[in-house]
Amino acid sequence: MTQELIDLRTSILSGRYEDALAIVDEMEEMSKKSILRNIKKYLIRMLIHLIKNKIEQRLTNSWAVSIRD
């Protein structure tokens, strides 16, 4: 992300606005992918805890906290 910000600043200062907009679009896409990765990670963790809960017929405090998160 740091290199993208440097490239963005350089593009703006040199008047290459099309390049700057392309970099902004790329950074926005990276942000969306990061959000989706986090959602996927939490869903997997929640499903694992729910499956464990179903199999073991008990719910520990740590599992309850993870499911709530």
Over residues 25-52, the mean pLDDT reads 87
**pLDDT at residue 18, rounded to an integer:** 92
Whole-angstrom distance, CA of residue 44 vs CA of residue 61: 18
Compute the average pLDDT of residues 36-63: 83
pLDDT at 56 exceeding the cut of 90? no
CA 28 – CA 26 distance, rounded (Å): 5
What is the C-alpha to C-alpha distance for residues 27 and 20, in angstroms, rounded to an integer?
A: 11
* Residue with more model confidence, 21 or 49: 21
Task: Give the tokens for residue 22.
Answer: 């392309």
| Amino acid sitting at position 49 | H
Give the structural domain span for 37: 2-68
Q: Domain count for the chain, please give it.
A: 1
Q: What is the dihedral of CA 30, 36, 39, 43, to 10 degrees?
A: -140
